[in-house]
Amino acid sequence: MWIFGYGSLTWKVDFPYCQRVVGYIKGYSRRFWQASIDHRGVPGKPGRVVTLIPSDDPEEKVWGIAYEIPPQEEQNVLTRLNIREQRFEVRKNLTMYSADGQKLKNSVLVFLGTDKPELMLGDASVATIAEQIAKSYGPSGSNSEYLLNLAKFMKEEVPQARDDHLFELEAAVIDLLGKKNDE
């Protein structure tokens, strides 16, 4: 079994795995449209975390990491991820490609967010999303930490990749946090 991480699983792995492969899936866009009321925000003041949205471009790439789970650990890992990713109700097996474009032999299990109105915040301006991320905090820490760690992963592991949504938000949140520190 392989698990594909495209958000916090790129930098916060709390389960055993045999190997990790940096790569991408196709046909989706990564967006900070999912409400987080249990990790990076709280009820009434949700944070924003990433989910995958079907793209109009079947060749669009979302970069992340696939983890091969040891067979004897599959059930334990799924149990843990079902708790950690409980707001991500849709699970799909998708094709993944390594950084050099080779198709992974096995499909990867991908957790997708819900479309329930109370948890799908949806699109907004970069300024609006950045302000919400800069101000949100939950049991797992600040929402900005989540965003900045994801951007760091992308810059370090796949510097050739484009993710305009992520990097525009990163710049806007850094600007807001800098202004906050100046006050």
85 is catalytic: yes
Average pLDDT over residues 25-38: 95
How does pLDDT run across 59-80, given as a tens digit for each residue? 999 999 999 999 999 999 988 8
Question: Residue 91 above 90 pLDDT?
Answer: no
Q: Which one from 85, 131, 156, 168 is the annotated catalytic residue? A: 85
Question: Residue 86 above 70 pLDDT?
Answer: no
How does pLDDT run across 103-135, given as a tens digit for each residue? 999 999 998 888 888 888 999 999 999 999 999
User: Closest by alpha carbon to 113, among 37, 177, 12?
Assistant: 37
End-to-end CA distance of the chain: 49
Average pLDDT over residues 136-155: 96
Question: Residue 183 above 70 pLDDT?
Answer: no
Domains of the chain and any CATH numbers = 2-182 (3.10.490.10)
Average pLDDT over residues 72-93: 83
Q: Average pLDDT, whole number, for the chain? A: 92
Distance CA 84, CA 39 (A): 9
Q: What's the per-residue H, E or C state across 47-112?
A: EEEEEEEECCCCCCEEEEEEEECCHHHHHHHHHHHHHHCCCCCEEEEECCEECCCCECCCCEEEEE
